[in-house]
Amino acid sequence: MIVSIFDYGSGNIKSVSKAVELAANNLQKNISVQVINSADKIKKADKIILPGQGSFKQCASNLLEIQGAWDQLNEFVVVKKKHIFGICVGMQLFADYGEEDGGSKGFGWIGGNVKKIELRNSELKLPHMGWNEIQIKLDSPLFLKLSKDKHFYFVHSYEFVAKDPKNVAASTFYQDEVTVAVFKENIFGTQFHPEKSQKNGIQILENFLTW
């Protein structure tokens, strides 16, 4: 099985790659972890991980600048129905639209918009940074074997506001309830960083590899 991490100049590629390789080694299965940066290599992947750091608009722009990448990712996910895992802004790109930096379109795979978190509590700050516990909303294979203490690491100022609550896989509380994982058929994404979330993060990556 080939698991490809798509490098489009917007992700924490090195730490994501190391975490996925660790998860693959833990499973002791024939899994090849590759970092790719071109559209033609998307066709050869069995599963794709789409990281993302920075602004929604910049990440979308970076993807569009790689010839054929946007269309090939659409075919991979929508036509071929292969599994994809989006991390942070990578997950946000699944939405219809992101409002950051004047706004830009996303893939539209999961209905919803990405909006800035509106804080009323002066004691809370943006970005929401650090460890927070998540509440699982869906009985998903991606959440198997997690410890009871379900804390994950976050760095974000924007949230995915899903049109359909059925697509909200997990949430956390930061003044209000905030969506931190989305799920639809072959599509899964987390706002938190599994590659920075120690044992639970590696477990989610293992779950993705065996999904």
Residues with a catalytic annotation lie at 88, 193, 195
Q: What is the side-by-side strand order in the sheet with 104-105?
A: 104-105, 97-98, 112-116, 158-162
- Are 91 and 56 a contacting pair, CB within 8 Å? no
- Are 80 and 114 a contacting pair, CB within 8 Å? no
DSSP string, 67-97: TTHHHHHHIIIIIS--EEEEETHHHHTTSSE
DSSP H/E element including 182: strand 176-184
List beta partners, residue 150: none
